[in-house]
Copies of this chain bind each other. A is one copy, B any other.
Amino acid sequence: MHTPAGKVSGYIVLMIVQIVFLVLFWLFVRYEKSAMPSQLVAEDAGSANEHVSKYPQFQDVQVMIFIGFGFLMTFLRKYGYSATGYTLFMSALVVQWSVLMKGFLHMEGGKISLSLESIIDADIAAAVPLISMGALLGRTTPIQLLCMSIFEVALFAANEYLALNVLSICDCGGSITVHAFGAYFGLAVALMLRPASDQNEAGKHEGANYASDIFAMIGTTFLWVYWPSFNSVLAAGSGGERAILNTFLALAAATVTTFVVSALVSHENKLDMVHVQNSTLAGGVAVGTVCNLLLGAHGAVLIGIIAGTVSVLGYRYLTPWLTSKLRLHDTCGVHNLHGMPALISAIASAIYASLVTADDYQSELQDIFPAMVGSNSTASKIMGGLGRNASTQAGYQLFGIALTLLIAIGGGILTGAVLKYTSFRNLQKDEQHQDEQFWEVPALENKEE
């Protein structure tokens, strides 16, 4: 039984969190030098401009997070308020938390520097719990989701720090640190929250209608269009242009493949909107970690073809199997859109890393594989020392994904246990996949009108 009082205490906790953020911002966060007035008139304009030259890509990422993820999840016919609303709520909380968490890991002089880069990082961090939310969609209360996102983002920041700064792996588009982490964390939570075996059938509201499927295509299409910005926003030098080109081609190839494979494996050879909404994007995930490498157009296209195929087959065969055997309900199929394509990306990164020569990457080796440069580097935290050779770097790439899976799944199981066994309210079967429990919904006569 839930009581309004139960809800109230959850929301009040979230307000306290917001006020704690306010205090932490006041104590620790300061504008970076580029965002402070300078003594010279307009002399620094050049460098200031350069500093915000990533702004258009940041805005593309914003659209992906808020419109893309939000609308992609509106496909459930009675859960559209929650899909778009919780996306906004969760992201607004997480972006603040990410500025603080990632800031604490990179403080200078006891202060956190706030710049455009901080909020780019914050938007990317917001993707992580949104991916996990996809695995749980319709099966949790908003309070559970929001609390999960706070735990998850802290763990994400730590894992990312380990992977990028200690293990020194390449992960330009974040497929390992963002997509694999978010997907397997969410799946682990979903496993913990799995229904009793006599309640394992799909929920009665767990499906799309015609309009909700088209709303979801708004999300899909904006994610598709802006994915090159997501993958390239943190790339440097000519790697930025390669990230754009490779991502674009991988998405195109994954899309063609998705339509074909969807038709071939579906009932009566009809196209399935679930595949079109999701698997078309798998190319963007699968090329993520390696998007700034010298893949060549054919490399990007090949990765796209593999990703589209694996993703559609995952939706068609693996997801139903996981549901029936493990009672693992993955509402949006994030395993097929984020999980497996991210594994493909990690494997691709090991393969391409094993082929790297200093000649290929010239001066950009420092940016892309800093641990493969000689001892004149200053990044002293790198594990395994400097001057790694190509096969060592390949091994580290695999170590990176393994560690990420370990932390994500471990963290997810722990978080799921907290959400299930502590005083959080859990949804009953018939309360799932519908807004009415937590939202004012227009009375039926309006809808019928």
Instruction: Decide if A207 touches B115 in the complex (CB within 8 Å).
Output: no
Per-residue B-contact encoding for A167-179, CB less than 8 Å = 1, 0 else: 0000000000000
Residues 15 to 39 of chain A near chain B (Cβ within 8 Å): 15, 17-19, 21-23, 25-26, 29-31, 34-39
Q: Which chain B residues lie closer than 8 Å to A240 at the CB level?
A: 48, 52
Q: Mark A199-213, 1 if CB is under 8 A from B, else 0.
A: 000000001111101
Segment at the interface with B among A180-188, A247-255, A339-347, A412-420: A247-255
Once bound together, how far apart are the Cα atoms of A70 and B7, in whole Å?
A: 34
Spot the interface stretch: A55-63, A156-164, A317-325, A390-398.
Answer: A55-63
Chain A residues 193 to 228 lying within 8 A of chain B, measured CB to CB, are 207-211, 213-215, 217-218, 220-222, 224-226, 228
Question: Is B363 a contact of A40 with CB atoms below 8 Å?
Answer: yes
Q: In the bound complex, how far is the Cα of B48 from the Cα of A209, in angstroms?
A: 47
> Which residues 25-81 of A sit at the B interface, judged by CB distance below 8 A?
25-26, 29-31, 34-42, 44-45, 48-49, 51-53, 55-57, 59-60, 62-63, 66-67, 70-71, 74, 77-78, 80-81
| A311 located at the interface, meaning its Cβ lies under 8 Å from any Cβ of chain B in the complex | no
Does A354 sit within 8 A of B, measured CB to CB?
A: no
A229 interface hit (Cβ, 8 Å):
yes
User: Interface digits, A295-319 against B, CB 8 Å rule (1 contact, 0 not)?
Assistant: 0111001100100000000000000
- B residues near A36, Cβ cutoff 8 Å: 238, 294
CA distance A40 to B245 in the complex (A): 22
Partner of A34, one of B30, B40, B238, B273: B238
A272 contact set on B, CB distance < 8 A: 439-440
In the complex, the chain B residue whose C-beta lies closest to that of A41 is B363
When chains A and B are docked, how far (Å) is the Cα of A273 from the Cα of B446? Answer: 15
**A8 to chain B: closest CB distance in Å?**
6
> Which residue of the partner chain, among B37, B80, B244, B256, contacts A360 with CB atoms under 8 Å?
B37
A4 within 8 A of B: yes
Q: Which residues of chain B have C-beta atoms less than 8 A from A446's C-beta? A: 77, 207-209
Nearest 9 A/B pairs, CB to CB: A92-B255, A26-B298, A25-B297, A56-B56, A37-B364, A35-B241, A37-B362, A25-B298, A92-B252
Give 8 A-B pairs besides A30-B297, A36-B294, A116-B244 with Cβ atoms closer than 8 angstroms. A11-B264, A21-B301, A29-B298, A31-B296, A31-B297, A80-B217, A85-B276, A95-B252
